Amino acid sequence: MVKGKAVPMDRANVDTDQIIPAKHLKRIERTGYGEFAFEAWRSDPEFVLNRPEHADAKVMITRENFGSGSSREHAVWALDGLGIEALIGEGFADIFKNNCFQGGMLTVELPADDIDHLMEVVGKQPESEVEVDLEAQTVSLGDVSWQRHFDIDPFQKYRLLRGLDDIGMSLEYQADIARHESTRPGWLPATS
C-alpha cells in the first residue's frame, strides 16, 4: 500500500535519459541517483518537481510510454531516490516496467481518461492524497471519493506482496536448469 501526495508528470514518452542522464551512470552503487533525477528539466524553476507543493510526493502520475529508451535500472533507482514509491500512467516501456517490478516500484496502468482526471486533481489540489492498494488492486483519491480498479498479473502481485527474492526462487530449480543444459546443441559457442 502506498499513500501520499502525487506529482503530475504531464508529458508523453518520458525517456530514461531524462529520468537519469548517462553521465550519472558511473556510480557502482544502487543509491545516490535521486539528486540527478530529471537533471535537465530541473534547471527550469517552474518544472513540476521544483514546486514546493509537490516536494514530498510518493506517487508520480505519468502519460504514455514512460521510461522509454535505455535499459538502465538506474532510472528506477533515481525515482526511488526522489521518494517515489508508485507510478500511475497510461503506459510504460517494456524494459522499464520489468525494472520497476524488480526494484519493488509499483507501476499501475489506467486509461487516458482516468489519468486526465488524476493529473487535474493533483495539479489543482496538490495536497490531495493518492492511495495505491496493491492487495485490493485499487487507486483511490482522497477519502475514496474516486476509485479505480487496476489489473496486475496475480503471480507478480503475490511476489511483490511477499517481497520474494527472484534469484532465490529460481535457484531452487537448479536441477531443471541442469536438465535443460544437457539438451543444448554441442555447437553453441563458449566464451572461455
Task: Tell me which residues touch other proteins (CB under 8 A).
Answer: 11-13, 15, 17-18, 21-23, 25-30, 39-40, 64-65, 68-74, 76, 91, 93-95, 98-99, 102-103, 153-159, 166-174, 176-177, 179-181, 184-192
Task: Identify which of residues 124 and 184 has a Cβ nearer to other proteins in the complex.
Answer: 184
| Beta bridge partner(s), residue 130 | 4, 141
Q: How far is the CB of 174 from other proteins (least distance, A)?
A: 8
Q: Where are the beta strands (DSSP E) in the chain?
A: 2-8, 59-62, 86-89, 106-109, 129-133, 138-141, 146-149
Joined together, the cell numbers standing for residue 130 give 493518492
Task: Identify which of residues 13 and 128 has a Cβ nearer to other proteins in the complex.
Answer: 13
Joined together, the cell numbers standing for residue 101 give 517490478
Phi, psi of 115 (to 5 degrees): -65, -40
8-state DSSP, 92? B
Q: How far is the CB of 44 from other proteins (least distance, A)?
A: 12
Q: How far is the CB of 63 from other proteins (least distance, A)?
A: 9
Task: Identify which of residues 55 and 171 has a Cβ nearer to other proteins in the complex.
Answer: 171
Joined together, the cell numbers standing for residue 182 give 544437457
Task: Identify which of residues 44 and 56 has a Cβ nearer to other proteins in the complex.
Answer: 44
